[in-house]
Amino acid sequence: MLYFKVDQRPTNAAFRDFQLGQNTKLVIISRDLKKSKEWLLMQKIARLNAGKLDNSKTL
């Protein structure tokens, strides 16, 4: 899972050490997705949209 902040508001102080910008390194934080709160949410979104996906189209 990847989070992108795309608005113009200042970045939350907790994330400033990981903020990607000019002349900065990319930092990747790994965690067990299946133990996160997002896992259940992702499953729910997938179930709700399962019938709406068109597998014949490719990006």
Estimate to the nearest angstrom the gap between the alpha carbon of 42 and the chain centroid: 11
pLDDT at residue 53 in the model? 66
pLDDT at residue 18 in the model? 75
Q: Which residue has the higher pLDDT, 29 or 48?
A: 48
Reduce the DSSP state of residue 47 to 3 states and report it. helix
The C-alpha atoms of residue 12 and residue 18 are separated, in whole angstroms, by: 11
Among left, alpha and beta (phi > 0; psi -120 to 50; other), residue 23 is left
What's the token pair of residue 32? 């067990």
Query: Would you say the pTM of this structure is higher than 0.95?
Result: no
Is the C-alpha dihedral spanning 7, 17, 42, 55 positive or negative? positive
2-47 pLDDT, tens digit per residue, is: 667 778 888 888 888 777 778 887 777 787 888 888 888 888 988 8
Domain parsing of the chain, residue ranges: 13-51
